[in-house]
Structure 1
Amino acid sequence: MSIIQNALSGSLAAQAALNTASQNIANVMTPGYTRQGVLLVAAKPSQAGSMGAGDGVKVPALQRFSDGYKSLQLWNAASELGQRESVQPYLGQLEQVMGDEASSLNAGLDQFFGALNAASVEPTSSPLRRQIVTAADALAQRFNSLHQVLSNQRASIYQQRLASVAQINTLSVDIAALNREISATRASGLNPSGLMDERDQKIDALAGQVGIQVVEQADGSRNVLLRSGQPLVVGNAASTIVAQGQPDGTQKLVLSFASESFTLATDRLGGPLGGLQDFEQRVLGPLVASVREMAEAISTRFNDQLAAGYAMDGSAGAPLFSFDASAADGLLQVDTSLSADALGFSADPAQPGNSDNLLELIELRQQPVTLSSLGDVLLRDAYTQLVGKIGTDSQQNQTALKTAQTVRNQAEESWKSTSGVNSDEEAINLMQYQQMYQANMKVIAVANQLFDSTLAMLA
């Protein structure tokens, strides 16, 4: 009977292997599916003595071909790619808008100072003076348009951050629920591979939103932490992240887990959440401040210099610009109804045709201004350097984005080399396990013949 038992165990093992191969082939195109295989172990002989060859073969468990290191590399690559992808549209828009002649501040400054230079030839000309007011208004509108673009970007970032936070919270809850299911499935003796695949996909999606660390637990669950150590998922419990608006217009991220709350550091978030935070703090915020500082410097310096001169009637020069960073209709305004004769171009109230103060106004372009993103720079060079900085930031991010995409692609191929289904390999497995099954059935047939022959001899 030991021959039949051995062959029966072999045929059952071959059936398990064929069933596993068929499952792999059925899921050859299923995203995130991890291939499985049978773990075959020779059964120890139960008969005493040297003649006990063994009791066949056992299949103690199915083997899930998963490499924790390769999965971690895949998730890290997803975080880096998400971080670079999230900010490139904003950098590209800034590069295009700021470099466009139709919206360039440099073009507006050129037109404004060109009007000043033209008026210096004939300071008493009303049309030339009026042209200065018109050019000043056009310059102010360029500042306001650019400032509006930057404000729209900040509003878009806030909405995108809220959406990312909501997705992180949802994925954390899903992963915690899958942890509970996997632990219960393993405890009941069932195969949790499908649930583990689903959880890995959720973790990959989570890594696409924020940088994470993953810690495997003995019961099959996985704890998921932020790079800074705060928990997103611990066992079957999930945390919640909230983006709180601040008085200065920024947002603060607060993570709540159990009865504890943590304010998240912004320097190690990773993923789109970290990319948006980094872009806002390192690029957008300083750029907004620099545009405001340029507008304020132009308004203050020109108004002060005009006030030091005299209008056509000998009175003190009237202000040309008005600056208000909080104004709903734009941070820089020009009163287009201002009389052109009220501009204080003369340094002598008794000489309306004097242009000394006008020349001082022209020289303001050569004076330095202090900008948050550049430091001290000449007014004439400020915008060019701002555009150059944005171009450099965009180019660096594009290069990093290409690298991140390559790393992600390589990580996916590396993961597939271990966990992905290979149709050719599974076809070979089918043939081998089919032969294994047929051979064991042949052994059973031989054993039956021997048994029948033995009975015939005893009859």
Structure 2
Amino acid sequence: MALIVNGLSGALAAQAALNAASQNIANVMTPGYTRQGALLAAVSAKQAGALNAGSGVAVPALLRFSDGYKSLQMWQGASALGERATVQPYLSQLEQVVGNDAASLNSGLDAFFGALNAASVDPSSGPLRQQVLTAADALAQRFNSLNQVLSNQRVAVYQQRAATVDGINNLTAAVATLNREIAVTRASGINPSGLIDERDQKIDALAKLVALQVVEQPDGSRSLSLRGGQPLVVGAIAAKLALQGEPDGSQTLALAFAKESFTLGAGNLGGELGGLGDFERRVLTPLMASVTDMAEALTVRTNTQLAAGYALDGAVGQPLFEFDATSTTALLRVADGLVAEDLAFSTDPALPGDSGNLLALIELKSQPVGLTSLGTVLFGDAVTQLVGKLGMDSQQNQAALATAQTVRDQAEESWKSTSGVNSDEEAIAIMQFQQMYQANMKVIAVANELFDSTLAMMR
């Protein structure tokens, strides 16, 4: 009788192992699938007797080949990669726009001051004066074009942030739902491996959007929180992120969990959400402020200097530029109604051909100017330094992006080495457990023959 019990338990154990191997092979190409295997354990003898070897084999559980540390490394890699990847398109666009020689502020400033230099040869020349107005108008248009690009980028950042927040809310809700389903499934004695794989994929997608801290709970659920400790998911309860508009047009993040609410800082969020905040805070906003600073300084200094001179008709100089910090498309423009004869190049109303005030205008290029992102620099060098700083920011992000991609790739490979399906290993396992099944069926057959022989002897 013991032969039959042992053989039957061995056959059933082999069948369970074959089922696990077949499931693995069926999902060899399924993204995020974690391989499984049967845990075999010898059953101790249940009857007395020194010759009783045991009561066969049991399968107490199916093993899920998962390493929490490797999963955490993969999610951290996703956060770093998402943070760097989401910023690079913005930086690349700014590099192309600001560094474009044909349409850059540098070319516009050089053309404007070049026209002033040309006019110093004959300050009373109408064509040379008109060239100054034309160069001034072209410079204003370049300021406006760059300001428009920067404003469009800010709108794009706000829109992408809103989409990211929606994605985070959807994923946290999905993780909370899966937490509940996994707990119920485990309590019912059903294998929850498929649900756990689905949850891990949701967490991986969420980690790309914002950096996470993940804690495994005894009931099989996973609690998620931000780097700052603010909860995102606890059991079957999910937090909700919301964007709030400020009077200055900026955005702030608020998190509501249960009856608590938190205001999140722009820094240390990680993922796409953190990358957008970091780019806006460190690059975009200072650059917009610096362009505005330059336009204002150019307007104030040029108009102030012109007011100290005299036009061809001896009249006091009129403003050349008009500045509007609140306008996206008209940050800087040439004053309405101004004509070439109104340019106050002379320091003496009785000498229209004098160039004293014109030379003072030309010297403005060599004067220092204070910019938000650079500090105090020479006016003529300001754009060059802005372009250099932008290029440095872009190169640093590209280097960090390459590193983040390498770290993520290595983390994925490490995860696959433990949790991924190897079709060759599974094929070998199927052969081994097939032989185990056949051997145990042979044991049962031998037991039946012995039983029949015993009965025949007793007739």
TM-score, reference length from structure 1: 0.99
Aligned to 1:27: 27
Return the letter of the residue paired with 1:422. N
Q: Could you tell me how far 1:336 is from its partner in structure 2? A: 6.0
Q: Does 1:161 align with 2:161?
A: yes
Aligned to 2:123: 123
- Deviation digits for residues 348-397 of structure 1 (CA, Å, limit 9, x no counterpart): 11111111110000000000100011000000100000001111111111
Aligned to 2:81: 81
What SS is found at the alignment partner of 1:348?
coil
- Structure 2 distance, partners of 1:87, 1:327, is 26
What SS is found at the alignment partner of 1:318?
coil
What SS is found at the alignment partner of 2:220?
coil
- Structure 2 distance, partners of 1:287, 1:266, is 18
- Deviation digits for residues 118-172 of structure 1 (CA, Å, limit 9, x no counterpart): 1101001111111101100000000000000000000000000000000000000
Aligned to 2:179: 179
Between 46-55 and 305-314, report the one with greater CA deviation.
46-55
Q: Does 1:46 align with 2:46?
A: yes
Return the letter of the residue paired with 2:177. A
1:78–1:328 distance in 2 versus 1, CA, 3 Å: closer
How many equivalent residue pairs? 459
Aligned to 1:272: 272
What SS is found at the alignment partner of 2:316?
coil
CA contact (8 A) 1:179 1:221 kept: yes
Q: Does 1:394 align with 2:394?
A: yes
Aligned to 1:287: 287
- Structure 1 distance, partners of 2:263, 2:87, is 23
**Aligned CA-pair RMSD:** 0.8
- Structure 2 distance, partners of 1:299, 1:179, is 61
Q: Does 1:114 align with 2:119?
A: no
- Structure 2 distance, partners of 1:282, 1:69, is 33
- Structure 2 distance, partners of 1:37, 1:182, is 19
> Which runs of no fewer than 5 residues in structure 2 stay unpaired?
none
CA contact (8 A) 2:148 2:329 kept: no
CA contact (8 A) 2:310 2:349 kept: yes
Return the letter of the residue paired with 1:206. L
1:424–1:328 distance in 2 versus 1, CA, 3 Å: closer
Return the letter of the residue paired with 1:150. L
- Structure 2 distance, partners of 1:33, 1:328, is 50
Return the letter of the residue paired with 1:279. F
Aligned to 1:332: 332
Q: Could you tell me how far 1:24 is from its partner in structure 2? A: 0.2
What SS is found at the alignment partner of 1:247?
coil
Aligned to 1:67: 67
Q: Does 1:428 align with 2:428?
A: yes
Q: Does 1:13 align with 2:3?
A: no
What SS is found at the alignment partner of 2:9?
helix
Matches within 5 A, 1:18-417: 18-335=18-335, 337-417=337-417
CA contact (8 A) 1:137 1:336 kept: no
> Which runs of no fewer than 5 residues in structure 1 stay unpaired?
none
Identity of aligned residues (%): 70
What SS is found at the alignment partner of 1:121?
coil
What SS is found at the alignment partner of 2:87?
helix
- Structure 1 distance, partners of 2:237, 2:147, is 44
Q: Could you tell me how far 1:344 is from its partner in structure 2? A: 1.0
Return the letter of the residue paired with 2:448. N
- Deviation digits for residues 196-240 of structure 1 (CA, Å, limit 9, x no counterpart): 000000000000100001000000000011111011100000000
Return the letter of the residue paired with 2:110. D
Return the letter of the residue paired with 1:374. L
- Deviation digits for residues 245-275 of structure 1 (CA, Å, limit 9, x no counterpart): 1111210000000011101122210001000
